[in-house]
Amino acid sequence: MNSLNKATIMGNLGQDPETRVLPSGMCVANLRIATSYTRMDKDNERIEETEWHNVVCFGKRGELATEHLKKGMQVLIEGRISTRSWDDKNSGEKKYRTEIVCDNLVFISSSNKDKEPEAKTRPSW
């Protein structure tokens, strides 16, 4: 049976990347990316809704995200959706987190409008 697990989002970073290094030495960067869409309510009024996405970048992509990304920057992310689980240390309760595991990272714009042309010339990883 064929299947497809692919996510593509373009949005803005809600905060600087949170980075850690695994015991193996691999860099891991966690990103929070906001995407928005507009819809009409029952009274025909426009409503903008924001969705927050958890993205994880491993290895070289994690290093590049850590070095170059800052809060407010616009990025395009391609990857696969993954849900991981763990037991909470305090409560013992099982916790779940759904995230996009980044396969491709493209810097669209800078949070600083003066640097926008430079940011657009950055390659995708």
Tell me: the pLDDT tens digits for 73-109? 999 999 999 999 999 999 999 999 999 999 999 999 8
- DSSP string of 53-81, one letter each residue: EEEEEEHHHHHHHHHH--TT-EEEEEEEE
Identify the pLDDT of residue 109: 83
**Which residue, 85, 123, 125, 119, is CA-closest to 105?**
125
User: What confidence tens digit (pLDDT) does each residue in 24-66 have?
Assistant: 999 999 999 999 999 999 999 999 999 999 999 999 999 999 9
Question: What domains can you pick out in the chain, each with its CATH number?
Answer: 7-120 (2.40.50.140)
Q: What pLDDT, on the 0 to 100 scale, is given for residue 116? A: 43
**Tens digits of residue pLDDT in 13-27:** 999 999 999 999 999
